[in-house]
Every structure is written in C-alpha cells, then in structure tokens.
Amino acid sequence: MSDAHGPPASQPLSSTAAPRWSRGDQILWTYTNPAHPGLYDQRPVTVIADDENHLAVWLESGTRMLHHVLADGSGIRTADGPARFGAPRAQGLKRWQGPGVVAVFQPGADYSVWFFENPGSPRRDSFYVNLEEPFTRFDCGILTSDHVLDIVVDSDGTYRLKDEDELEFARSAGMFSDEKVERIRAAADSAIEDVRTWRFPFDSAYPDFQPEPDWPMPDLPAEASWDFES
C-alpha cells in the first residue's frame, strides 16, 4: 500500500522514435482516465507480433495488474449510476482472472479486439471489441483511454452492444461531452461494419494462438504502487 502512484511510462514517443517490439518482449498495456488523473489500469503483457498493421499481445491468467477501485476499496460496479464514473477512486491491485487473452491493436483504430476462449473449446473465437482512444506507444508499452461502450461478438459473427447504460452514466457524470458520446457511437458503428465484413483481426489466425511454453509471466514495474489489494 502506498500514498503515491508512479506514472505508467515515460513521455509518448514520436512516430519516428516509436519502438517496434519483438515476439516475446514484455511491455505494459495501460489505460488512463482523464476524470481520475494519476490512477491507472495497467496490464503487463507479452508481445506476440508487432508490425506496421497491428500489435498483438498476450495477457496471461494470474498476471498482477493495476485497476481502479472506489475510494474505500470497493469495486467500481458497486456504485450506482453516474457515481460509477464521478465518485472518488483509488488505485487497486488484482490478478487477471480466467483464461489468458489475446489483444490486438491497430494504428489509428478507435478500438482493440480481445480474443477469449469459448467454454468447452480450445479456440479463442469469442471476441470483445473495446472502444478506446487510438493507442500511443511508449518506450515500455502502450497507452490509451477507455470509452466505456463495448461490442461482444460471438464465433458466428453475431454481435451486441455492451454497457450502453454506462456510457450514459459517464456522460451524466461529466466524463464525456455530448459530442464525445456521438464520436464514440460513430466508432462503434465503424467497428460493427468491420465485424459484418469480417475484416482483420476477426479473420486472423489468433483464435488458434497458443503462447510459448517458456514465456515467463510479466510483472508490474518495481515502482508501481497501490492503495488496495484484492
């Protein structure tokens, strides 16, 4: 437990100075929230692939990660309505629960795609489309900001919006302006079009990905600190 939380990474790098990571490198996948500066959702991950078209990372089950909690240490979802986004928060630490996840980021894209295992199947063909800011690279990872609204996509291509009510809560709490909400919804429409046409990364080989058996589990940096641990 600590009273101060260090930054997730150094200053953002220009496109010419941006690093290109190799398979097996360990980096930090970090979300910030402008309504709660100084707090992070940070996940240590292993790079699967990194090229001009996409970055794919592996989040291993059991990985220690930073996340937001309410000021008393309670889970964010225990708050009602706009308080989920406007109530004071603190820094929490937890472990990633459930099976490991492949996440794919594309330069300039307003969303990332997470590949989850389906129950009873070895394939990662259940997709979670996370609406977010296009990612920025740092020397030790990537940085983005979550846009609350998400899309759940089944292996057969059917989809549904998730957390539309929370997007309205975020608007009511002053986290997003009306204009920002409209941009987020437009980004969701664009992502849905990619689902309908089954564009990359939905048509990729990542549903069959398996991590290298000798990859060590990444961990948070030594300077990471938090207020509550669960």
What was the pLDDT predicted at 122? 80
Residue 141 lies in a domain: yes
CA distance 68 to 42: 10
Residue 14 lies in a domain: no
The dihedral over CA atoms of 35, 138, 26, 43, expressed in degrees to the nearest 10, equals 0
What was the pLDDT predicted at 18? 72
Residue 17 lies in a domain: no
What was the pLDDT predicted at 2? 38
Q: Look up residue 70 and give its two tokens.
A: 């309410």
What was the pLDDT predicted at 171? 95
Residue 21 lies in a domain: no
CA distances from 113 to 9, 109, 157, 168 (A): 23, 10, 14, 23
CA distance 68 to 77: 11
Length of the chain in terms of residues written: 230
Percent helix, strand, coil in the chain, to 5, is 15, 35, 50
Averaged pLDDT in 10-residue chunks for the chain of 230 residues = 48 62 98 94 98 97 97 95 95 95 97 92 92 95 97 96 96 95 97 97 96 97 95
What was the pLDDT predicted at 118? 83
φ, ψ dihedrals at 115, nearest 5°: -105, 115
Contact between 195 and 187 (Cβ < 8 Å): no
What was the pLDDT predicted at 227? 97
Please tell me the total count of domains within the chain: 1
CA distance 206 to 44: 19
pTM: 0.92
Residue 8 lies in a domain: no
CA distance 162 to 148: 9
Residue 16 lies in a domain: no
CATH code: domain of residue 181: 2.40.380.10
Residue 184 lies in a domain: yes
- Its domain, for residue 74, covers 26-229
What was the pLDDT predicted at 120? 78
Residue ranges of the alpha helices (H) in 74-211? Answer: 83-86, 164-172, 178-196
Which among 97, 48, 42 is positioned nearest to 65, based on CA atoms? Answer: 42
Residue 15 lies in a domain: no
CA distances from 229 to 68, 83, 92, 94, 222 (A): 11, 22, 6, 6, 16
Contact between 187 and 110 (Cβ < 8 Å): yes
What was the pLDDT predicted at 1? 37
